[in-house]
Chain A
Amino acid sequence: QSALTQPASVSGSPGQSITISCTGTSSDVGGYNYVSWYQQHPGKAPKLMIYDVSNRPSGVSNRFSGSKSGNTASLTISGLQAEDEADYYCSSYTSSSTLLVFGGGTKLTVL
Chain B
Amino acid sequence: QVQLVESGGGLVKPGGSLRLSCAASGFTFSDYYMSWIRQAPGKGLEWVSYISSSSSYTNYADSVKGRFTISRDNAKNSLYLQMNSLRAEDTAVYYCARWIPDTRVDYWGQGTLVTVSS
Interface residues of A (CB under 8 A from B): 2, 32, 34, 36, 38, 44-48, 51-52, 57, 89, 91, 93, 97-105
Contacts and interface: CB of A to CB of B under 8 A. Distances in A.
A56 B40 CA distance: 28
Nearest to A53: B103
A107 to B, nearest CB: 11
A48 B105 contact: yes
Contacts of B100: 51
Nearest to B111: A45
Contacts of A105: 44-45
Q: Is the interface of B mostly helix, strand, loop or mixed?
A: strand
A52 B101 CA distance: 12
Contacts of A38: 45, 105
Nearest to B109: A45
Most buried by B among A34, A36, A45, A101: A45
A53 to B, nearest CB: 10
29 contacts: A34-B103, A36-B103, A36-B104, A38-B105, A45-B95, A45-B108, A45-B109, A45-B110, A46-B95, A46-B105, A48-B104, A48-B105, A48-B107, A51-B100, A51-B104, A52-B103, A89-B44, A91-B45, A91-B105, A99-B59, A99-B101, A99-B102, A100-B47, A101-B47, A102-B44, A102-B46, A102-B47, A103-B44, A104-B44
Interface string B47-83: 1001000000001011000000000000000000000
B106 interface: yes
Most buried by A among B50, B102, B109, B110: B102
Interface string B85-97: 0000000000100
A44 B39 CA distance: 11
A44 B109 CA distance: 9
A36 B45 CA distance: 13
A34 B44 contact: no
A32 B102 CA distance: 9
A97 B100 CA distance: 16
Interface in B15-62: 35, 44-47, 50, 59, 61-62
Across chains A and B, which 4 residue pairs bring their CB atoms closest together, nearest first? A51-B104, A45-B108, A36-B104, A105-B44
